[in-house]
Amino acid sequence: MRDRVYRSEAIVIRRSDIGEADRVLTILTPSGKRRVVAKGARKTQSRLAGHIELFTHTILMLAIGRNLHIVTQSSPLDRFERLRADLERIGAAYYAAELADRLIEEESENRRAFELLLGVLRALDAGASVDLTLRAYELHLLDALGYRPQLHECASCGAVLTEATNRFSPAAGGALCPQCAGADRQALPMSLPVFKLLRYLQVQPPEMAGELRISSTTCAAAESLLRAYLRHILERDLRSLAFLDDVRLMQHPDASASIRALNGRHFAQGVDDERN
């Protein structure tokens, strides 16, 4: 029996109910993403119930099952309680977890992706800037999974990009030099401050994002470009974005309106492209 039970560090990134009392968890571990089942976890007397909440960083004891491995014990390392007390940070955590879930293939080992998700949860829990923390996370996760956007060489011709760069093409996979800017009529405008911000976040450790002081306009434009790029990769928006936007609308109506306007235009472009 000993060979059929193993221990794994994990972050709970999704949950769903099954049967009368069981709960299926999608977990991200250093050795990959997998689905497991916590039997009886929805019963009021279950010892697992409070130990397998979303975003919990935990050590799981798992028994090898026929279809899904079975959670027999959970020893939480961090529940990120401060994060859970703030709606915007909860929304950001939902988004970070959903992005990892959508981009990472099941059973595909990627320790860096695990460490990036753990890092973004810790940063959000510590009070770091939500916007910049998420932008750094997106860029580094895309890099870790083979979707790194080109921000230093032209995505079309490979030429070294200069400060004259002002177009970003989700379809081409990154920024375009002035000579190639007309090659993609759907390429999005990109200001110099946004270009510099994205390049900085891409090459610096993710935790450096919390030390930056960036205008809300630049943050909103950077978010809009990366949303467009992720939309191109995933072929849709993530559901958690609607919740995050609604929370922002309540807490920061001016900034949220700017983000919605930018993303609305890019989303409309995407719908028109599909119709054509």
**What tokens does 210 get?**
């919390």
Are residues 74 and 60 in contact, defined by beta-carbon separation less than 8 angstroms? yes
List Cα–Cα distances, 129 to 29, 53, 195, in angstroms.
26, 24, 19
Backbone torsions φ then ψ of 210, nearest 5 degrees: -70, -15
CATH of the domain at 216: 1.20.1440
Which of 80, 105, 140 terminates a domain? The answer is 80
List Cα–Cα distances, 199 to 8, 45, 123, 124, 193, in angstroms.
35, 51, 20, 22, 10
pLDDT for residue 260:
53
Q: What is the pLDDT of residues 208-239, one digit of tens each?
A: 998 899 999 999 999 999 999 999 999 999 99
Q: Please list the pLDDT of the chain residue by residue as tens digits (276 residues).
A: 456 889 999 999 999 998 888 999 999 999 999 999 999 888 877 788 778 899 999 999 999 988 899 999 999 999 999 999 999 999 999 999 999 999 998 878 889 999 999 999 999 999 999 999 999 999 999 999 999 999 999 999 999 999 999 999 999 999 999 999 998 999 999 999 999 999 999 999 999 998 899 999 999 999 999 999 999 999 999 999 999 999 888 876 655 455 455 454 433 333 233 333
CATH of the domain at 58: 2.40.50.140
Residue 147 lies in a domain: yes
Do 161 and 230 reside in the same domain of the chain?
yes
Do 63 and 197 reside in the same domain of the chain?
no
Do 72 and 133 reside in the same domain of the chain?
no
Residue 181 lies in a domain: yes
Which residues constitute the domain of residue 58?
A: 2-80
User: How many independent structural domains does the chain possess?
Assistant: 2
Do 146 and 263 reside in the same domain of the chain?
yes
Locus of tokens 């009070």: 127
Are residues 249 and 256 in contact, defined by beta-carbon separation less than 8 angstroms? yes
Give the DSSP letter of residue 238: -
